[in-house]
Structure 1
């Protein structure tokens, strides 16, 4: 069975200039977990829910900090400032272009490749989807679920 037999030709995609907020809305509205980033018909990156979630990671502070008696009063203020900084940072994230977080290394398949080849690539690279490319242009997308559905038809 070929990739073209199981791929979805109606690809939800974005451009590198689209904002992270817009991409998050696209993922939610279309109930998908990732999408290709396309410029002039060519795949230039890929972005997933995982990429968006990594934006929310707060770096851990190493070492043990114990406040002095004088700092006990300052701690609630310090925590308030950190929260406000974090809140402001998260608001700014949504306006950044998706090019800032997309993965530029994109694994692709051809519509004429077998679903076994697509499955092997998905498994080896630990990814959930493969853009389907023909003559350097995006023509579809194939996910793990598409492959499993295809195997059910065999």
Structure 2
């Protein structure tokens, strides 16, 4: 079975110059976890929930902290300041360009590739989606779910024979 048989030929995509907040909106609205990033009509990368979470990751504080009696009064203020910094960081992150957070090293397939090849690439590189390119232009996207569905269709065809 070919990628052409299982791919989504109308992928949701975003331009590299768009704001991260627009990418978040598109991901949520379309109930997807990642999408191709374009510069004009050429593939520039992929942006996923993981990319966005990595951008917002906050350094973890290590060790055990036991406050002194005077610090107990300071804790709510410290937490409020930390919350305000986190909020400001999230607002600033929303204005960041998608090109700054996207994954630039993208594995792709063509419509004529086999679903076995795509599955192998996904497993080997631990990725969930592959943009489908034809003559350098985005013509679709194939996800793990698409491949599983394709395998199910193949199994049904074998049973019918």
Q: TM-score, normalised by structure 1?
A: 0.92
Aligned-pair distance for 1:74?
Answer: 2.4
Q: Which residue in the other structure is 2:55 paired with? A: 55
Aligned-pair distance for 1:153?
Answer: 1.8
Aligned length: 154
Q: RMSD between aligned alpha carbons?
A: 1.4
Q: Please, which runs of 5 or more residues in structure 2 have no aligned partner?
A: 155-161
Distance (Å, rounded) in 2 between the aligned partners of 1:32 and 1:75: 39
User: Deviation above 4 Å: which 4+ runs of structure 1?
Assistant: none
Confirm or deny that 1:20 pairs with 2:20: yes
Distance (Å, rounded) in 2 between the aligned partners of 1:84 and 1:153: 51
1:71-130, CA deviations, whole angstroms, 9 ceiling, x for partnerless residues? 333232222111111111111111111111100010100111111101111111111110
> In structure 1, the residue corresponding to 2:85 is in which secondary structure?
helix
Q: Please, which runs of 5 or more residues in structure 1 have no aligned partner?
A: none
Distance (Å, rounded) in 2 between the aligned partners of 1:105 and 1:113: 20
Distance (Å, rounded) in 2 between the aligned partners of 1:41 and 1:76: 50
Confirm or deny that 1:104 pairs with 2:121: no
Q: Which residue in the other structure is 2:158 paired with? A: none
Indicate the structure with greater helix content: 2
